[in-house]
Amino acid sequence: MSTPASYYSYSPSKYYLERGELIKQGAEAKVFALSSLFPTPRIYNPSSSPSSSSSSSTSSSSNKGVIVKYRFPKRYRHPSLDASLTASRLTFEARSLARAARYGVTVPRVLWVDEKGGCIGLEKVQGWSVREVLGGGAEGEMEYQDEEEIELDIDTNDDERDVDVQGEGEVEEGNEGWDKLKQLGVGRDHLMRSIGSALAKLHLTTIIHGDLTTSNMMIRLTPDNKSHPYEIVLIDFGLSSTAQFPENYAVDLYVLERAFASTHPRSEKLYAGVLEAYAKGLGEKKWKPIETKLKEVRKRGRKRDMTG
């Protein structure tokens, strides 16, 4: 069955794609941000001059930002295969997000899924990525360094790394997210534990994220919650799946461990805090087999680094 020529020509998401600001161009998708789901209405004020109509939002919810992820057509794929792959990935991403939310994992709300147009609309999380807060490179830089380099950073460069790792909680200046957290009395240990708890919550739903990096975790302030003034919001479920075995969870954790190592030179201590909270959140019985697998996965990772 061939795909109609008009397959991609009409999309209800087109409105947003045309008006959004491109914030990321990946190999699979483009990500756009908009300040609001609704167009800003022009309100006519009869008491003022006819020319002075003013713009105003109708409700506070319409002020919330929107993210539109557009899985554009891949010309190298057969059009009907491409269309069905795009549709199934979008549907899976939306299902994972809905399932995670149902089990109390903090994720962006799904606003719409436009399978034919290749788009998913999501609530825009107002905050900072963990990567930004930990003082990693700018968004869009390579998440991973050459794998051998990661090993070298950890093993040999301790003395040169004191610039941003002097004891606990020292992060470069001029970091808005970090400054806000500091004002709230939140240190790095606390942040690491929150990440570990968020991951445990996610894995308890049997969802594997598939691309855990410090860019895919956001920190959002929760000013109304006095006991926990911020939350970790997990984003980008485009590669998520459902776990069958402890190894699946271990690989998810290992991917994040490597991401930490590339974002932060002396990451072992930080990551140990993540794992501690993760283990606690999961419970001893579930954690033990995952811990065993994680050790195996690390060993395999090291071996691969050495053999290339």
Using CB under 6 A, list all residues that contact ligand AMP.
23-24, 26, 29, 31, 67, 69, 108, 122-125, 129, 139, 215-216, 235-236
Give the nearest distance from C-beta 24 to ligand AMP in angstroms: 4
| Residue nearer to ligand AMP on the CB measure, 122 or 181 | 122
Q: What is the C-alpha separation between 220 and 270, in angstroms, rounded?
A: 20
Give the nearest distance from C-beta 96 to ligand AMP in angstroms: 12
Q: What is the C-alpha separation between 220 and 236, in angstroms, rounded?
A: 16
Kindly give, in sequence order, each residue whose CB lies less than 8 Å from that of residue 288, ignoring residues fewer than 6 positions away: none
Query: Of 82, 114, 153, 211, which one is the catalytic site residue?
Result: 211
What is the Cα 273 distance to its own chain's centre?
20
Q: What is the C-alpha separation between 287 and 11, in angstroms, rounded?
A: 45
Give the nearest distance from C-beta 139 to ligand AMP in angstroms: 5
3-state secondary structure (DSSP) of residue 217: strand
| Residue nearer to ligand AMP on the CB measure, 22 or 152 | 22
| Residue nearer to ligand AMP on the CB measure, 114 or 123 | 123
Q: What is the CA radius of gyration of the chain?
A: 22
180 class by beta-carbon count within 10 Å (0-12 exposed, 13-18 middle, 19+ buried): middle
Spell out a b/e string for 298-308, using b for 16 or more CB atoms within 10 Å of the CB, else e.
eeebeeeeeee
Task: Report the residue number whose CB is nearest to ligand AMP.
Answer: 236
Give the nearest distance from C-beta 61 to ligand AMP in angstroms: 16
| Residue nearer to ligand AMP on the CB measure, 66 or 290 | 66
Give the nearest distance from C-beta 191 to ligand AMP in angstroms: 18
Told to judge if 211 belongs to the known catalytic residues of this protein, a careful annotator would answer yes
Q: Are strands 119-123 and 110-114 parallel, antiparallel or unpaired?
A: antiparallel
| Residue nearer to ligand AMP on the CB measure, 144 or 286 | 144
Q: What is the C-alpha separation between 126 and 35, in angstroms, rounded?
A: 11
Catalytic residues, which ones? 211
